[in-house]
Amino acid sequence: MKKIAVVGATGYTGQELIRILVQHPNVKVHNAVSSSNSGKSYASVYPGLSKLADFTCSADDIDTLCSQVDLIFLALPHGLAAKMVSKDVLEKCAIVDLGADFRLKNAGDYDEWYDFTHPNPQLLDCSTYGLPELNREKIKSAKLIANPGCYATCSILSLAPLLKAGLIDESTVIVDAKSGVSGAGRSLSLGVHFDECNESIKAYKLGSHRHTPEIEQALNPYAKDSLAISFTPHLVPMNRGILCTTYGSLKKKVTDKDLFDLYREFYEDEQFIRIFDPQSGDYKYPETRWVKGSNYCDIGLSVDKRTNRAIVVGALDNLVKGAAGQAVQNMNIHFGWQESTGLTHAPIFPA
């Protein structure tokens, strides 16, 4: 049994981590760190986990925790993990950071996209981008794993096969993305109050969303030319889910079946990627309701013959495959366990 700590344990992502970890056969939650709930029983914060998470929240710091546990999950707002992680900490335990602090390799990108100067830029070269389907071998030996963002995960998995095959013009890539309200976190904010977002949908951060450089960085190795995407996120009044509709102009004529065969081969051995066959079934394209509560990413495909564009639709649960589930997937790879351990629960429907 490995000892695990979760820092930021009472946010939405931290709660999802705890929910998965208390059902994982190979780990024990040693510490659930929450400065705002220190001293409270975890079940008093999340009664749904009563008799599953019978421990008390603490305010332990990472320098103390790293000598007590085998791995620490950091589920914190951006800017905090960068100040906490050090080479001394990494010598004692592994870190999976669910925030953005170690995703980008260029320290200057944090000034531009996150409005803070990275305090430990030397660690950016030590971090491994934790998207298992594309980076599994590096994750195995990594001590500092940067868990991808939810929008980024869906966008990257949707576009990688097209780019690697050289089928689309890199200058034409558009990502139109929608997220449930839990993606904004548990902190109070006027824009996610019920009366502000219910019965409405809105675009935000046009041309300036922080996941843009992350998506480009991850996909550039698959592109023939430098990639610059147009990324527009939208807030949808639902609790969970990401839906990304991505577009790219095709360089040659292909069919829906050609795309399906390409994606099926690319993700042939990936347990958590499900490709929808556009030629069969009542449901040809993914929906967020079919992935809710699960670690799956569903992908659907179509060719717009009139404009000769590829259209790829990706769907995932932003709190699971887009955050906590993928973090556990990374932990499993790091410790050499079956990658799906603790993650085989089916989607919840209806919910």
For the ranges 187-191, 249-253, 331-335, the lowest mean pLDDT is seen at: 187-191
Residues 76 and 163 in one domain: no
What pLDDT score does 116 carry? Answer: 92
Q: How confident is the model at residue 213 (pLDDT cuts 50, 70, 90)?
A: very high
Active site (annotated) includes residue 150: yes
Residues 165 and 120 in one domain: no
What pLDDT score does 188 carry? Answer: 63
Q: Where on the phi/psi map is residue 222: left (φ > 0), alpha (ψ -120 to 50), or beta?
A: alpha
Residues 162 and 310 in one domain: yes
Give the span between the Cα atoms of 150 and 143, in whole angstroms. 22
Q: Is 107 helix (H, G, I), strand (E, B) or coil?
A: coil
Question: How far is CA 71 from each of CA 24, 25, 68, 161, rounded to the nearest angstrom?
Answer: 14, 15, 9, 32
- The set of residues, in sequence order, having a beta carbon less than 8 Å from that of 182 and lying 6+ positions away, is 12, 239, 240, 318, 319
> Is residue 190 scored above 80 in pLDDT?
no
What pLDDT score does 33 carry? Answer: 97
Span 22-58, pLDDT tens digits: 999 999 999 999 999 999 999 999 999 999 999 999 9
Span 283-311, pLDDT tens digits: 899 999 999 999 999 999 999 999 999 99
**Does a structural domain hold residue 133?**
no
**Mean pLDDT of all residues belonging to the chain:** 95
Residues 117 and 210 in one domain: no
Give the span between the Cα atoms of 324 and 23, in whole angstroms. 13
Query: Which residue type occupies 291?
Result: V
Instruction: Tell me the chain's radius of gyration from C-alpha atoms.
Output: 20
What pLDDT score does 351 carry? Answer: 77
Residues 89 and 51 in one domain: yes
**Does a structural domain hold residue 224?**
yes
233 and 151 in contact (C-beta within 8 Å)? yes
What pLDDT score does 191 carry? Answer: 72
238 and 288 in contact (C-beta within 8 Å)? yes
Residues 202 and 169 in one domain: yes
Residue 315 pairs in a beta bridge with: 243, 298
Q: What is the CATH number of the domain that holds 85?
A: 3.40.50.720
Residues 91 and 211 in one domain: no
Residues 115 and 167 in one domain: no
Residues 21 and 76 in one domain: yes
Give the pLDDT mean for 82-94: 97
For residue 71, give its domain range: 2-126
Number of domains in the chain: 2
- Which of these is catalytic: 150, 154, 244, 297? 150
Q: How confident is the model at residue 194 (pLDDT cuts 50, 70, 90)?
A: confident
Structure tokens at 65: 């925790």
Residues 62 and 189 in one domain: no
> Is residue 270 scored above 80 in pLDDT?
yes
Residues 90 and 175 in one domain: no
> Is residue 21 scored above 80 in pLDDT?
yes
Q: What is the DSSP letter of 188?
A: -
> Is residue 185 scored above 90 in pLDDT?
no
Please give the backbone phi and psi of residue 336, each rounded to the nearest 5 degrees, phi first: 80, 20
